[in-house]
Chains A and B, each alone.
Chain A
Amino acid sequence: MALVLYNYDLDENCYKVRLALSMLKLEHETIAVNAFPGREQETPPFLALNPMGTLPILKDGEQTLFGAEAVLAHLARTHDPAGTWLPVEGEAFAAVMQWLFFASGDLSAAGRARANALFGPPGDETALRAAARRAIMAMEDVMVANGFRAREWFADERHTIADVALFPAFALSRDFGVDHDEFPALRKWARRFRAIPGFLTMPGIPDYH
């Protein structure tokens, strides 16, 4: 099989890739990695695939990729014939890029805050939660403004991999103590996201639709 995902079920970055594989309906093999408590991704066989020792890792034939956002871009570019998940024309391409970098940059505080809360690695929980909250507030502001021009998604008229990269941090934010009460525009966006064909949940995201 051409596509192989090295996966840990509780990792929200792996979840981004699982979402994309499912929404793009791509056949793939999943290899479970004992990230917690085993930290298997930091052992030599995995370091040979990703020297940073992080997940997810995707193999596509001869190519090996790490970093969820790069994997999303690769899957959309090579496995979405319609080209809607990663539009390359007009303003949408740069908008998708902006949100992918945001997801792996500013918003990554959410992933670290959650890892801190669930698995207890060292880190300043208060500062991480504040940084994550600030990034989520920025997302709320943008979706409120988008609503005034009847735009339902982050980067384009249609959903893209930007929405896939942004969804887990918000959907899992209760894990690190940021609830959804004050983010009505994101609640509505998350509800639309859940309705995309191929949507799947992960532990911490209830399945009630």
Chain B
Amino acid sequence: MSLAPGWHPVALSGSIDPGTSAGTHLDGREYVVWRDNSGVAHVWEDRCPHRGMKLSFGFVRGDHIACLYHGWQYDTAGRCRYIPAHPDLDVPATITVPVFATVETCGMIWTTTDAAPNRAAPPADPGEAMAVTTLYADIGPLAFLDAVRALPPQPFIPGDPEPQLSQIDGALWRLTAGGDVLLLGMQRLNDVRSALHVVIAGSASTYAGAGQSHVFAWTRALRHRLATVPAKSEATHAEAV
């Protein structure tokens, strides 16, 4: 079974520094998100072909990621290039990690498992984006969005008071509140847990510091609501559709 079609956010761009890696999930499957030292982001299956160690536990050396367990190193195409126990070995080209198309847009790192010919374009980049945080909750995407509708942010920049939530791509939502535009990337981690990546579509001169803190405080209030107000189950949503 492959991933739902389309592009999926897996991290805020700023959460993965050059030369670092982190694990994540999409639809219950494990992925490693890593950035090589030249700054390019990669999303791979989080499993070393040698003995199955999570590559997200490993470390980045230049443009290779090395497994923590026995140090096998993989290049940016996912091909094993170096096996420390056999330093002189010309590593067979068959030892590879499944790699997935990766782009950065809207202040987030995105991936898809769709094959190139029928792959949709990733969400368009709005220009300047200020990352806020990723909010995690034991809840499905629909219930997550319900909570956003039920508790919209107070605007940082005053404007039209009526908040608007609209889907602009499969996993990308646009939330306007007053003069603010937020981009919400919805990541379905597994059957019971989701992540909401929150980015301000706006300039650093307007939002750096106080504006980011303002939106961050909203995400904490949202988390509190999710922890205290019971959500409609995803099944209820499915019946309603």
Contact = CB atoms under 8 A, between A and B. Distances in A.
25 contacts: A144-B216, A145-B213, A148-B208, A148-B209, A148-B210, A148-B212, A148-B213, A148-B216, A149-B209, A180-B23, A181-B24, A181-B56, A182-B136, A182-B195, A184-B11, A184-B15, A184-B16, A184-B22, A187-B20, A188-B15, A191-B17, A206-B57, A206-B68, A208-B68, A209-B59
Nearest to A179: B23
Contacts, number: 43
B17 A188 contact: yes
A93 B214 CA distance: 27
A191 B57 CA distance: 14
Query: On chain A, which size bracket covers the interface?
Result: 10 to 19
A184 B133 CA distance: 9
B220 interface: yes
Query: On chain B, which size bracket covers the interface?
Result: 20 to 34
What 6 A-B pairs have minimum CB-CB distances, sorted nearest first? A184-B15, A208-B59, A148-B212, A181-B23, A148-B213, A182-B136
Contacts of A148: 208-210, 212-213, 216
A208 B65 CA distance: 12
Given A180-B23, A181-B24, 4 more contacts: A180-B22, A181-B25, A188-B15, A206-B68
Contacts of B210: 148
A181 B187 CA distance: 13
Interface of A: 141, 144-145, 148-149, 179-182, 184, 187-188, 191, 206, 208-209
Contacts of B25: 181
Nearest to B66: A208
B68 A182 contact: no
A182 B24 CA distance: 8
Contacts of B212: 148
